[in-house]
Structure formats: structure tokens, C-alpha cells
Structure 1
Amino acid sequence: MENVPIKTVILGDAYIARNGKTGAADRFVCLLGEKGKVLLTFFTAQ
């Protein structure tokens, strides 16, 4: 397995339109590596 350094962790809220409607915000976590490259993004249940 390769070691990839994480440079930045971003936590935020995203309003995602589903079926033409925008509901409550979905929280997400995004991990960034070298040169701002996105390593992982996932949405949480709450």
C-alpha cells in the first residue's frame, strides 16, 4: 500500500437537488493531498 500524505481536511454542507427538489443540507468530508488533489470525499448520515 502506498503512503499518501493528507494536506487538508474540508468539512462542509452541500445542498443537493434530488428529483428537482433541494432538501436539507448533507454534511461531507473531503481529504486533499498534494496540489489540492482530491483523495476522498464522503457524505455523512447527519
Structure 2
Amino acid sequence: MCPACLASIGLVLAKAASAGAATAIAVKKLRNRSQSGSVAGAAASKGERR
């Protein structure tokens, strides 16, 4: 393969890894938010539904 092709493949792989890391961080933060308020939030929402 030519050097330009190898560089292109390297960029594609780096972008994919970066997107995967960003997604993992976002999921971790969203999970922490939902778990921290899940007990109080669940009790409040059950009371509001009735």
C-alpha cells in the first residue's frame, strides 16, 4: 500500500477510536445521572401518577 493509503486508514481508525471513547464517556455520565436520582425520582413519579 502507498503511504497516503496507510495515512488515510490510520486517520479513519483514530476517528473511530475517538468516537468510541466519546460515546463511552457520554454513556457513563448519563448513567450516573439517572442512577443518582433514580430512587427519589421513582418515588416522586409514582406519587404523581396516582
Structure 2 length-normalised TM: 0.17
Q: Which has the higher contact order (CA 8 A, sep 6+)?
A: 1
Structure 1 length-normalised TM: 0.18
- Which structure carries more helix by proportion? 2
- Which structure carries more strand by proportion? 1
